């Protein structure tokens, strides 16, 4: 019979390595890269940080046509289709009408519009307590969804998606 001897330092290292993120004040962070879609040259990153019950989101993009573009969270983390259609429709776990974030009815995926400058660079940021990262709550958990940048402007009215045009970039929201 073999004896296994563990040092105190080894046991402490294992215990520290097994620490869970059960504290709601712990921070969770996702940094994602966009894939260009619909023959665009769009690229960039999206960052989600959850801390103290709120998620902060920032997307930085380049290669856009100058002007206003929409960005939404979609149902699936599938960016395989050349036109981004594999990400499905807008993420709408509460079955609301499409609209402008924070005004009347809106999808949990209705982030909104942002402006690309004359060089095709754009940034959008927001913070919300309506999302989280990895809780398993189907009405708040953004993991397993897709992030889509559109060619045009969200009109906040047309159903079900705001008539924002082609999908020019996609990112899967996964760990």
- CATH number, domain at 118? 2.60.40.200
Query: Over the stretch 70-119, which tens digit does the pLDDT of each residue have?
Result: 999 999 999 999 999 999 999 999 999 999 999 999 999 999 999 999 99
Considering the entire predicted model, what is its pTM? 0.84
Contact 95, 153 (CB under 8 A): no
Asked, for residue 9, whether it belongs to a domain, the answer is: no
For position 163, what pLDDT does the model report? 93
pLDDT, residue 26, reads: 76
- Which domain, by its residues, includes 140? 24-173
Q: What is the dihedral of CA 56, 43, 77, 30, to 10 degrees?
A: -30
- Whether residue 5 is contained in a domain is answered as no
In the chain, how many domains are there?
1
């Amino acid at each position: 019979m073999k004896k296994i001897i563990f040092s105190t330092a080894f046991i402490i290292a294992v215990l520290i390595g097994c620490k869970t993120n059960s504290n709601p004040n712990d921070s969770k962070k996702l940094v994602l890269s966009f894939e260009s879609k619909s023959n665009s040259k769009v690229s960039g990153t999206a960052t989600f940080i959850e801390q103290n019950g709120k998620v902060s989101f920032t997307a930085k993009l380049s290669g856009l046509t100058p002007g206003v573009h929409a960005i939404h969270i979609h149902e699936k983390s599938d960016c395989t289709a050349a036109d981004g259609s594999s990400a499905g429709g807008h993420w709408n776990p509460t079955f609301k009408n499409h609209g402008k974030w924070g005004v009347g009815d809106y999808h949990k995926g209705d982030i909104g519009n942002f402006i690309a400058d004359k060089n095709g660079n754009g940034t959008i940021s927001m913070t919300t307590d309506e999302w989280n990262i990895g809780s398993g709550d189907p009405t708040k958990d953004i993991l397993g969804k897709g992030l889509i940048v559109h060619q045009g402007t969200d009109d906040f009215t047309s159903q079900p998606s705001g008539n924002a045009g082609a999908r020019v970039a996609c990112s899967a929201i996964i760990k």
